[in-house]
Structure formats: structure tokens, C-alpha cells
Structure 1
Amino acid sequence: MALALAPCAPGRLGYYALVCGASLPRSAALGALGVLLSPPAGFHAGGKLGRLAGLLSLISSAGSLLVSASALRTAREHELSVSPADGLRGRLDARLAPRTVVFASGKGRQFNADIYAPTGGHTSRVGVVVVHGGAWRHGDKGENAPFSRWLAAHGFLVADIQYSLATERDWLAAVDDIKAAISYVRQHAAELNIDPQRIVILGRSAGGHLALLAAYTADVALRPWRVVALYAPTDLVQLYQHARGQQGRDLREGLHALIGGPPADNRAAYQSASPVQRVPGDAPPTLLIHGRSDTSVPVEHSRRLYRILRRAGARAELIELPFARHAFDLVPEGLWACITAQALLKFAANTQPRARPGG
């Protein structure tokens, strides 16, 4: 699904406030300071236009600071080590380059994975299989390479994979491809220097939906150690019914291709392909991260799955990001991306994921 950033204030002002607030917190502070320190004559020189520009700049900076403060408060609530400086540099190493391997082939197709090996002499011996988004019809491995490099720099082995898109086959094929990737990483664990029993699936958006299905339907031999879903749809009937606007049309077209038509024609298939309907009694520990301002896939998708997991006795954690929209982690320098990365580090190291207060 495409990056969707919408305003928290009218017009483009809110857009820039959200983007800057999540990605450049210091620039917001400097912008506000600049406006406050500008001589009054500067406003009068431009007449009404100058005063309006100054006011908008101040409001935008205030919005940016509000978003940044909310991000840092969320990090503290979940005991994550994130600071405003992280939102600027993102602690990413662009020098880490992957090698590409074939992890599955057949029927005239082969599926590749970009392998990012841990660097700097440190390894957590944890493997992370990354599943891209794209409304089930689009996308490819490498869509968030900076995040994969960040994980590798912090000791993870990352396999960023391709899978069957809905335009090629059906959702079962895509889930099977993810399971094949888990099998490949597990079979090559010695070569990759990881623990074969410590494999995490990380999926974004539609990829998060598929990652959850793969984790919850896999046989014991292929079951991942952990599953992480970012802004993932978990109830496809609900997603279809609430899709609106251009993004909604894209989602519905993706669901038509994935399932073979609308829910009215095949409700059972929609339910079968919904993670909320597939939670097993022994579900692997699950981390859900979702923006509260996501209009493409509302946060209720993660909230509902979280409640079902907790009722089933599964270990689960839900992190809700105030003001964050869909695809919030695709800005690698942003605080939302840093919170996501730190949450994954903690989740992979923690044998008992912490329940959300009141959950």
C-alpha cells in the first residue's frame, strides 16, 4: 500500500507538520525559534502574506513538536531507548550491501531473497524474514533496505524476500512462499550463523497480513519463533467494507485479485484469509505496531487481533503510535522508524513480551 500521510491540521500545513514531526524534530524546534526571533518588521514588510506565512510556519513547527513529543512518550511507555537525535540520523549504515540468493523456484518462476549479514563482529543469531507490502499486487524486496541494514548492523541476519503477487496466483501461494523462505533460512542456519529455532517474520501492510497467516498456519516444523506485523489488515471483510477513496479502490482491487472477487461472492474465503480467524492455541509470540491515524488500515485491525491473541493465552504486544499514518516506517530517519526498530530489538531479546496496559 502506498505511503499515505494526511494532515492533522487543514491543507498541506498538517502534512508537513506530520512529516517533519516524525522525521526532523530538531528542525521543527529551530523553525519555531526562527519565527519567534524574527523581527516584527519582517512580517510587516510582506503585508498580510508575510504575516500569514509566519503564522503558518509557527503552527507547523508547533505541530511537529507535538508529534515528536508524542513519539518520545510512546517510546518511554514501552521502555524503548529512543531520543530526538535518533530521528535525525536514524543510526543507519548505507554501506551494508546484501547478497541475493534463490530460496524457491518452480513453474517457471524463481523467488529471490536479499541476505543482509550481521556486521561488526556482533550477532544475535536471530534470523528475520522480511515480507514487503504493496496491496498484494505490487512491491518487491528491498522496498525498505535502510531498515534491513539497520537490523544487520545490530546483529540480525535479514532475508528480504519476494513472493507471489495476487496478479500471479492466490493468497495461499504467497503464504507458501513465505513458508519456503522460513524453510530456506532454517536449512541454511549453520551457513548463515543463526539459531534455526530463532527465526522472526516481519511484514508490512499486506506483507504483515501474509506474515501473520504464515505464522498462524505453519506446521510445527516451519513455525517461526516470533512474528511482527506493521499496520497489517487482520480482517479482510472489514477492510473491504470500510475501504474509501482512491486508496480504498486500490485495496478492493487488491482483494479481488487476492481472493477472486468481493466478500459477497466468497465470504468464507475472506474469513479464511483473515488472521483474526486463524489464531491457533499455540500461536507464536506476536508484536503488532500500528499508527492511530492510519486511514488505509485502521488501528482497530491490530487492536482486535491483539485482544484475540490475549484471550487465547498467546504472548502478544501492541504498540500504538499517536498521529502515525500508514507506512510510517518508510521514512528511515523518522522517530517512528526508530521506535519500530527498537521495539523489534527488544521483542527478539525478550522471552515474555509485555502486555499493553489494560490489555
Structure 2
Amino acid sequence: MTTPSMQRSAATWAGLCAAVLGLGMALPGCTSPNASTAPPTASAAGAVPADAPAQTLRDVAYASRSAAQKMDIYMPAGAGPFPAVVLIHGGAFKRGDKAMDAANAAALVAQGYVAVAINYRLSGEATFPAAVHDAKAAVRFLRARASDYRIQPSKIGVWGASAGGHLAAMLGTSGGVAELEGTEGAHLGVSSRVQAVVDWFGPINFATMVSEGRALGFAAHYNVDNESAYLGVDANSPAHLALVQRSNPATYIDAQDPPFFIQVGSADPLIPYTQSLNFHAALKAVLGEAKVSVEKLEGAGHGGPQFGSAANLSKVLGFLGQHLK
């Protein structure tokens, strides 16, 4: 699964700070005169002023069960409302932090999106479906509080990598599935559906990861130890197949699901790339070819510079722009 070094681009930390601060945003370890912890001040008429500056709100709580249930909200300059993209970090379901998505947030804000990087309960704190419940609670919070954060509530996408890609895929396919909505946060009557999904090399079917790895000749690398910790049971055991399938985004595919853009590396040593290809095929069978696309990046591993390159980010932003703008 992914690590912080896999998630960040190859740019130096100084370069990342400069890019983020240039957009009027904040990143731990960087100093920004424009960073704030409060929503923008509305005018007397209740509207955000047209010249509202770019603003970053850090550690905004979207629920109250866990200290992990926080988000960083990056807003572009202007009154909006803007489409929003929820960023879900990777880290094998057991580690990682929302700060890992600062570079992608900067790219989104530069294109006129509100970028929202979330934390969620990791496997050491709570097992499935806690992380799914948290991600859905974050979307509900943003939709319910859209006017506070300059968000167009009908245009919310999600973008995740590795474990975050899995959670993004779950958000995309399980809209309206009651058992996965959870009871987190104060906005339980608000929809958690998203309007576009970017899935970077997320694990999909835990039950077949080992066999798919063997088929690709990478058997020495593939296991489901982290996925088992996420579920709280042995994900490779037939005795737990029902739970594994409950955690499989493909289980919930239906015609109401949003468009998907899936990318995976051909040399991924941790997640068999066939997980992404098989998921794409299942989505396409229901949604049609026009709504679902997949790309195997030749030679790319589990994240890395091919994913974070300007050319590749342009593809992601093009997909999001097609469906959220």
C-alpha cells in the first residue's frame, strides 16, 4: 500500500511550499499570511464578497466521535460557488494524513475547485466500515455547509490513491446503501453521493488480490495483511468472504453511479493492476463506456512521479472538469 513518500510528487518540500503559498493556502511547516481557521466573512447581505481571498481552513471537524474526523478546506479566490473535490489519502488503511494531499489540493484550487483533504479513522482505531462511514460523513458535512465554504453542493467529486482510492471507489458505488452511511456527524439526512470519482490504484476485491498477484508473477510481493487489519478478519479466508464482498466497491455498482477515471501502474508491487482493470470492466458493463475510463501507466509503480506529473494531472483535471464544471 502507499506511503507518504509515494503520495508526494518529486518536487522538493521548498518547491511544494512555494506552490501552495502562491495560491494563498497553508501547509504544515510553511508560513502563509493568508491562512485562516474561520470561514470567510460574509457581507451584510449574507453573501461572500466577490473579491474574497483564497483561504485555507485547517482541522475542521466534520464529526465528533474521533479526533481523526477532521478536514483541511482549501478555497480559491472569489465568491463561488465552486465545485469541490474530496481528497482521500492512502497509507495501507493504517497510516497517513490529509497533509499528504497538499500538492493535489494546490492543483485543484488553481483550477477553481474547493479542495478538501480529509482524515478518517485508521485500522488501528476502528475497522470496516468505519473509514467508509467517515468519508461519507465528510461529504454530507460539505454538502450541508456548502454556503460556508463556497461550494456548489450538486458538484462534489472524490479523488483518492491506494487505500484512499478504495474509499473513493466505495463513495462512488455505494450512494444510498444504508448500512454504509453510518451515523457520524450531524447531517444524516443529507446525501453522501458524489458526482465524479478518480481512483488511483485502489485495491478493490481483497479476496482475489493474492491470486491476481500470482498470475502477474509478483507473488512474493502481494498479500492482504493490511486489508485484513482494515476488516478485522483474515481477508484471504473463505470463511470471511461475505464481509470481504461487503467491502468490495464492485458489489454496489448500479446505474446511478457517477463517472469514474481509474489509473494504475503496470509495475505496481503492492496492488495487482488487474484489480483496477477488473473494476473498470464491471463498471463499464453497467454504466457504459462513456462514463468509465481506465489507464494503465506503463512502468509506473504504486504512485510516484508518473502519477504526479503535470501531464498526468492535466488528465485528471480534464476528467473532473468534464463532470463537475
- State which of 279, 283, 298 in structure 1 corresponds to 2:272: 298
Give me the whole-angstrom Cα distance separating, in 1, the residues matched to 2:16 and 2:311.
10
Matches within 5 A, 1:299-314: 299-314=273-288
Can you give the 5+ residue segments of structure 2 that lack an aligned partner in the other structure? 27-55, 178-190
Kept after mapping to 2: 8 A contact 1:227/1:284? yes
- For 1:257, the aligned partner's letter is A
Q: Which has the larger radius of gyration?
A: 1
Give me the whole-angstrom Cα distance separating, in 1, the residues matched to 2:242 and 2:63.
29
Give me the whole-angstrom Cα distance separating, in 2, the residues matched to 1:307 and 1:124.
35
Secondary structure in 2 matching 1:270: helix
Give me the whole-angstrom Cα distance separating, in 2, the residues matched to 1:171 and 1:240.
20
Kept after mapping to 2: 8 A contact 1:133/1:203? yes
Can you give the 5+ residue segments of structure 1 that lack an aligned partner in the other structure? 6-21, 25-88, 353-359
- Corresponding residue of 1:15: none
Give me the whole-angstrom Cα distance separating, in 2, the residues matched to 1:271 and 1:348.
29
- Corresponding residue of 2:43: none
Matches within 5 A, 1:265-280: 265-280=239-254
Matches within 5 A, 1:213-252: 213-219=170-176, 221-241=191-211, 242=213, 248=222, 252=224
Query: Deviations along 1:11-55, whole A, 9 cap, x unmatched?
Result: xxxxxxxxxxx969xxxxxxxxxxxxxxxxxxxxxxxxxxxxxxx
Please say if 1:323 is aligned against 2:299: yes
**Identity among equivalent pairs (%):** 26
RMSD across aligned positions (CA): 3.0
Number of paired residues? 265
- State which of 99, 103, 111 in structure 1 corresponds to 2:69: 111
Secondary structure in 2 matching 1:219: coil
Secondary structure in 1 matching 2:64: strand
Please say if 1:347 is aligned against 2:319: yes
* TM-score, normalising length: structure 1: 0.67
Give me the whole-angstrom Cα distance separating, in 2, the residues matched to 1:301 and 1:229.
11
- Corresponding residue of 1:170: 127
Query: Once the 2 structures are TM-superposed, how far is the Cα of residue 246 of structure 1 from its aligned partner?
Result: 8.2
- Corresponding residue of 2:99: 142
Matches within 5 A, 1:1-359: 1-3=1-3, 93-95=19-21, 96-97=25-26, 98-100=56-58, 101-106=60-65, 109=67, 111-119=69-77, 121=78, 125-219=82-176, 221-241=191-211, 242=213, 248=222, 252-262=224-234, 263-264=236-237, 265-314=239-288, 315-328=291-304, 331=305, 336-351=308-323
Give me the whole-angstrom Cα distance separating, in 1, the residues matched to 2:99 and 2:220.
25
Residues 91 and 306 of structure 1, relative CA distance in 2, 3 Å threshold: farther
- For 2:292, the aligned partner's letter is A
Q: Which has the higher helix share?
A: 1
Secondary structure in 2 matching 1:94: helix
Give me the whole-angstrom Cα distance separating, in 1, the residues matched to 2:112 and 2:94.
32
* TM-score, normalising length: structure 2: 0.73
Give me the whole-angstrom Cα distance separating, in 2, the residues matched to 1:165 and 1:110.
8
- For 2:258, the aligned partner's letter is P
Report which stretch shifted further, 301-310 or 175-184: 301-310
Kept after mapping to 2: 8 A contact 1:213/1:275? yes
Report which stretch shifted further, 204-213 or 262-271: 262-271
Give me the whole-angstrom Cα distance separating, in 2, the residues matched to 1:215 and 1:2.
21
